[in-house]
Chain A
């Protein structure tokens, strides 16, 4: 397995002119209306925006989980928008990791089996050094033989993070990773995500609506109504809230129609 070393020079993920339209004609909904955005390698980026802003759609397109109406997505040198289902699957297997809001661990597998699942699917051997690094970083050593049902939400999400990182992907997408966690476990998970960027050199793109969660990122990309609405570098909860408030105040006229 080749390790795709983070190169701060070129972006890990790049979108150009990305649009996504649901429905047709008068009923057409422009979930994404032309997005140009770069996500730096070796960085922790948060995508924030109101519901319906298209942030989830953007993540789906960036991760190759959904097809764009127009525009391109590049993961490193690979143009995702040109790949077929099998190629996208292999890309997800080798170069992309996922962390979900609902953890999505296989209930009948132990924590260890869940972590190594992507490698099992790929039929590749577990790099024990890397496995140990992940397990120790995420403090899962004592939990390896437990099944998800025996783990707390925070522990489950840490297992999911280890699973997302086990194949040393170029980028990890986290979809509301703290959405199902209490604030303490959420903070724990977020600092683990940040550590995996700082200490393990990973690239993480996180979709969230929580300003506190977004403040863990190196950079926040604000999205509203299918377009990039701004970025916040080195965010704090306050600066993120301020950014969101600015978005909300712009939207209020629409919201008061009803």
Chain B
């Protein structure tokens, strides 16, 4: 039966192209949606983990990190350096232009400093400040210039002056938490008290003496310092991505909706195509049934064919989807979005398996009804002198429709008497019987005994008959 399916695939290749394209588009959507979601997640992961600099552990605490807490963390065996991530928001202004700054305090250890200097340096002494390159540009500042920093309400006398000592590489992509300014702890404390807020650290970063001891040290920190949760950089980044992905999943769902629509359309096209193929092959299927193909073999042959078409088409779709995603990645850098997107699509087991599985499954499911139709072709149909010679394209559609009608009619359990006449219309003795049948009358049944006296020709055997057994 596999030979039959293969031969049919080779023969019916052209007819299956439309169905194949439909399926390929559907699975291309699935692939693109999954790859897109993966890329967004990977980008988010990259952004988040970049904000952890070279830290080994990320600590969180509901009560913040006081100097005492930081000190006791630093005292835990295995901890080499610890730096609370202190944040403060304020306004930076220059010559009437102002910008919002989401600042962080310089890390106590340079390995834990997430900000990357583009030009100049990080602030070292009081009254110094670094801004992102884009913020500095907006304010018309160059390294060495003096600017004003203040709370959101300048009238309260919160304004301070500071010197821009460096510009920072702009925070990338989806990392909404990335600082747009770096200030010294002294300036931050001064500004915070002037504004009337506390410097607050939601988390702290830790460098370990030995990165391999991460789980042991994180347990030790949690045990020795009250109210602190420790997780590895990977865990923390992953958690942040999951939180973030909740929002990107909407986008994924949107694309997947398109994929669903494409697959439904594909299913309709496939069902139609296979219906036509089955109708076209009615005579062949009947022959197969005659020479010993069971119904389930016939059904399987159709489903196997559909499965093969589905698999090939969804593989093509996967390729197309991957190409789409990769094209997007090629385009992204030129859009200057400053997103740390990967340069090459990474295929995971899921992004490969799902488009293939959905495309193939939809094809096979759509072929279920045609497969059922195929099993209903009666083996008796093979005995009908129904010529299936190739026809020109113009009449092909009509032939298919006609055959479809024939196939459907054949499923009726009881044949109309007229069929009897039609079947034997090639018979030279057709006058009597055909008239009897077509005119709705009954065939005159002669009593068999009338023939008892018929001549039984018992002649001498032909010479070559003598070797009959």
Contacts and interface: CB of A to CB of B under 8 A. Distances in A.
A143 interface: no
A229 B451 contact: yes
Nearest to B380: A65
Interface in A223-246: 224-236, 239-240, 242-243, 246
Given A52-B432, A225-B445, A60 B380 contact: yes
Given A23-B417, A239-B459, A106 B432 contact: no
Interface residues of B, number: 73
Interface string A116-142: 011011100000000000000000000
A88 B65 CA distance: 84
Given A8-B469, A65-B383, A104-B287, A52 B443 contact: yes
B462 to A, nearest CB: 7
A79 interface: no
Contacts of A227: 445-448, 451
B386 A102 contact: yes
Contact of B468 (A108, A218, A225): A218
A50 B457 contact: no
Contacts of B288: 117, 121
Contacts, number: 221
* Interface-central residue, B387, B426, B457, by most chain A CB under 10 Å: B457
Given A106-B284, A108-B10, A86 B294 contact: yes
Given A102-B387, A120-B3, A85 B295 contact: yes
Contacts of A98: 290-291, 382-383
Interface stretch (B201-209, B267-275, B346-354, B433-441): B433-441
Contacts of A198: 467-469
A145 interface: no
Nearest to B462: A234
Interface stretch (A25-33, A70-78, A182-190): A25-33
B211 interface: no
A26 B441 CA distance: 9
B289 A218 contact: no
Contact of B459 (A106, A113, A234): A234
B385 A30 contact: no
Contact of B455 (A92, A242, A258): A242
A250 B118 CA distance: 113
Contact of A42 (B283, B414, B456, B469): B469
A254 B417 contact: no
A167 B292 CA distance: 11
Contact of B416 (A23, A53, A197): A23
B469 A233 contact: no
B424 A251 contact: no
A201 interface: yes
A59 B458 CA distance: 25
Contacts of A222: 451, 454
A51 B126 CA distance: 115
A94 B292 contact: yes
A152 interface: no
Contacts of A43: 468
Interface string A29-69: 11101100000001100000111110011001000011000
A181 to B, nearest CB: 13
Contacts of A235: 457
Contacts of A254: 432, 436, 444
B455 A246 contact: yes
A115 to B, nearest CB: 11
Contacts of B1: 120-121
Contacts of B439: 258
A252 to B, nearest CB: 9
B7 interface: yes
A104 B382 contact: yes
A246 B454 contact: yes
B463 to A, nearest CB: 12
Contacts of B385: 101-102, 179-180
A247 to B, nearest CB: 8
Interface in B117-131: none
Contacts of B459: 234, 236, 239
Given A50-B432, A225-B445, A23 B414 contact: yes
Report the 4 A-B pairs with minimum CB-CB distance, sorted nearest first.
Answer: A52-B433, A93-B292, A239-B457, A51-B427
Given A86-B295, A224-B446, A236-B457, 6 more contacts: A50-B432, A52-B436, A101-B385, A120-B4, A167-B292, A243-B457
Interface of A: 6, 8, 22-23, 26-31, 33-34, 42-43, 49-53, 56-57, 60, 65-66, 85-86, 89-90, 92-94, 97-98, 100-102, 104, 106, 108-109, 113, 117-118, 120-122, 163, 167, 175-176, 179-180, 197-198, 201, 209, 218, 222, 224-236, 239-240, 242-243, 246-248, 250-251, 254-255, 257-258
24 contacts: A6-B469, A27-B442, A30-B445, A34-B448, A65-B378, A65-B380, A89-B293, A92-B292, A100-B382, A100-B383, A102-B386, A117-B288, A121-B293, A175-B383, A179-B426, A201-B469, A224-B451, A225-B444, A227-B446, A228-B451, A246-B451, A247-B454, A250-B446, A250-B450
